[in-house]
Amino acid sequence: MYQNLKDTVRLRKEQLAKTAKTDPNYNALKNELEAAEAMIKKMNQKYQFESIKNFTLFNQIFELSK
């Protein structure tokens, strides 16, 4: 779930960069981005995913496996 949220944040940032502020979908994308970022922050505070010693190594391996 945590990785899915991180992927959503990355994807929404890319989409927002390509979307004009006048586009009707802009606010929906922005709201979804903010919600995903809030959930990541909440999960990270509760479970401290980013502070796990081998998290960086795990992430590198995970990215290579895609």
Provide the pLDDT for residue 52: 63
For 21-59, the pLDDT digits (tens) are 999 999 999 999 999 999 999 988 887 777 766 667 777
Task: Give dist(CA 35, CA 55) in Å, integer.
Answer: 23
Provide the pLDDT for residue 9: 97
Task: Give dist(CA 57, CA 51) in Å, integer.
Answer: 12
Provide the pLDDT for residue 54: 61
Helix 26-47 to helix 2-18 angle (10° resolution) is: 150
65 falls in which pLDDT band (50, 70, 90)?
A: confident
Does the pLDDT of residue 63 top 70, yes or no? yes
CB-CB contact of 26 with 32 (8 Å): no
Using CA of residue 57, residue 43, residue 4, residue 33, what is the dihedral sign? negative
